[in-house]
Amino acid sequence: MAILKKKRETWGSKIGIIMAVAGSAIGLGNFLRFPVQAVQNGGGAFMIPYFISLFLLGIPLMWIEWTLGRYGGGFEHGTAPGIFHTLWQKNRFIKYFGVIGIFGPLVIFIYYTYIESWTLAYSFFSLVGKYRQITEQSQMQAFLRGFQGLEKNQYFASLLPAYVFFLITFILNIGVVYFGIRRGIERLAKWGMPVLLGCAVIILIRVFTLGAPDISKPTWNVNNGLGFLWNPNFNALKDAKVWLAAAGQIFFTLSVGIGVILTYASYLSYGDDVVLSGLSAVSTNEFAEIILGGSIVIPAAFVFFGPERIRDIAFSGAFNLGFVTMPLVIQKLPLSAIFGFLWFFLLFLAGITSSISLAQPAIAFLEDEFDIKREKAVSIFGIISFILCQPVIFLLNKGIVDELDFWGGTFSLVLFGTIETILFVWVFGMERAWEEIHRGAQLLVPKIYKFIIKYITPLFLFFILGFWFIQQGLPVIMMKGITSTMRFYVIITRVSLLILFFVLIFLVRTAWRRKRIIEERLR
C-alpha cells in the first residue's frame, strides 16, 4: 500500500458508516417508487425478480463498491477516477471512465434536492393546515401544480414559496457536508435514520389499525390493500420489462452504480470490515423498503379509495402517490396534521440523507486530487450546483428533470456498475478481489459468491444494459414521444450535460498532470 502523504477524514464509528450508507440508500424511492413499481409489475410476482436481482446483483455490487472504496482510500483516492487508476495503473485512459462516478451523483443532486425540498414544504403545510380543506384529487393536484409554479391558482400566486423551501433545503445540504464526514454526514445519519424509521413505524402502526371507513364496503380494508400489492400475477414474469424493472429498482434503492458508496467507503480504515458492514446497510435498506415502504402507501390508499380507484392511483406515478394521494388519505385520519407532518418529515429525512451522499463524490474529488481544503471544496460545489439547479426549478415542465434522471439516474448507474465490476473482477483479479473483500472481515462470504461475482453479476449487468438500451434507452435517445416544442429544451439539456461531462474529464486530466509535475519537481 502507498505511504499516506496526508491525513484523510475517517468515520467515527462502525454504526456511523452503516447508518450513512443506509441513509444514502434509503430515499424517496423506498416509500414512493417501490410500491408503484411492485403494483405496475405484477404485484407479489415482482418480488421474485426483485430478490433474484438483490442476491445476484445488489449484494455483490455492494461488496464490490465497499471494497473498492476502502482500497482506493488507502491510496488517498475517494472517487472513481483515482480508484480506477489505482486498480489499473498501466492503462492511462481508465481514470476517465471513472468520471461517470462523479457525473452521475452531481446530475442527480441537481434535481433531487429540489424534489426533496417539496417534502420539507409539505411537512410545514401539514402542521399549519395549508391544504386542510382539500378533499378531491383534482384539488390536491392543483395545489401541487400551484406550489411548483406550473400554474397560478387560489393556493399559490407565484413560485416564491417553493423557492424559499428550496433555499432552506439547499443550505441544509451544503451545511451538513461543510462540517465533514464525522461532524456533518455521520452525525446527521446517526440521529436522522432512527427518527426516520421511528416516523415510518408510527405511520405503519396507524395504517394497520385502520378499520373499513365505510361499513357498507367491508372489503375496503388493510388486508385487502396488502393483497392488492402482494398477490402475484405470475404471467407478468414472462415480460422482460418486469425483470428490468426489478433490477432497476435494486440499483435505485441500494445506491449502487452511482459512485457514492465508493466515496463513503474510502474513509474507512484499511482493516475495517466491509462484508458485515455492507450486509448491515443492505438489511436496513430492505427493511425500510419492503416492510415499511411496501406496507404504508398502497394499503392506506386502498382503505379509503377502494380497489377500482387504487389501480389508477398506483399507475399515476410516485409523485402523485406521495404528494396528491397520501395527503388526502392522511386528511381522513384523526390528528391528521401530526400524521401528515410525520409522513412528509420522514420523506425529507430520507431525501437529505441521500442528497448529502450525492454531493460528497464531487467534494472528495476536489479535496483528494487538487488538495483543496474541504471548506473551499464545499463552497465551489455549492456555487456550481446552485447555478445548475435553477433550470430545474424554473423549467420544471419542460422535460429537464426526465432528461437528468435518464442520463444521471438511470444510464450512468447501469454503465458505471458494469465498468466497475469488470475492472474489479477481471483486471484487479478475482483472487486478489476475494482476498481484499475478506480483509478484516468477521464474516466469511459464501464461496458461491466467488462464482457469482466473477461470472453471474457481469453477465446479469450486460443483459440489463443490452435489453434496457433496446427497450428504453433508444426511444429516449431518439426523443420518441417528445413534442416539437419540448425538443428544444431536451436538446439544450443534453448539450449542457455533455459539456459538464467533458469539463469533468478536463479536470481529471488537469489533476493528473498537476500531480505528475509535482512528482517530477520532487525527484
Band the pLDDT of 1: cuts 50, 70, 90.
Answer: very low
- pLDDT tens readout for residues 274-298: 999 999 999 999 999 999 988 898 8
- pLDDT tens readout for residues 207-241: 988 876 666 677 888 888 888 888 888 888 888 78
| Residue type (1 letter), 515 | K
SS3 232: strand
Residue ranges per structural domain of the chain: 34-522
Instruction: Give backbone dihedrals phi and psi of 75, rounded to 5 degrees, phi first.
Output: -110, 20
The per-residue pLDDT for 6 is 59
335 conformational bin, left if phi > 0, alpha if psi -120 to 50, beta if neither: left
CB atoms within 10 A of CB 357: 28
If we measure between CA atoms, which residue out of 292, 347, 266, 276 comes closest to residue 18? 276
pLDDT of 259 higher than 60 = yes
- Length of the chain in terms of residues written: 523
What's the Cα-to-Cα distance from 440 to each of 1, 13, 273, 274, 410, rounded to whole Å? 15, 15, 5, 8, 33
Would you say 31 and 347 are in contact if contact means Cβ atoms under 8 Å apart?
yes
CATH topology classification for 34-522: Hydantoin permease (1.10.4160)
Using alpha carbons only, how large is the chain's radius of gyration in Å?
23
Mean pLDDT in residue range 457-463? 92
**What is the average pLDDT value for the chain, to the nearest integer?**
91
**pTM (2 d.p.):** 0.93
The per-residue pLDDT for 475 is 87
What's the Cα-to-Cα distance from 444 to each of 116, 239, 275, rounded to whole Å? 38, 36, 8
Would you say 329 and 337 are in contact if contact means Cβ atoms under 8 Å apart?
no
SS3 43: strand
Q: 374-394 and 160-178 are packed helices; what angle lies between their axes, rounded to 10 degrees? A: 160
The per-residue pLDDT for 214 is 65
210 conformational bin, left if phi > 0, alpha if psi -120 to 50, beta if neither: beta
What percentage of the chain reaches a pLDDT higher than 90? 65
- pLDDT tens readout for residues 403-431: 999 899 888 988 999 999 999 999 999 99
pLDDT of 337 higher than 90 = yes
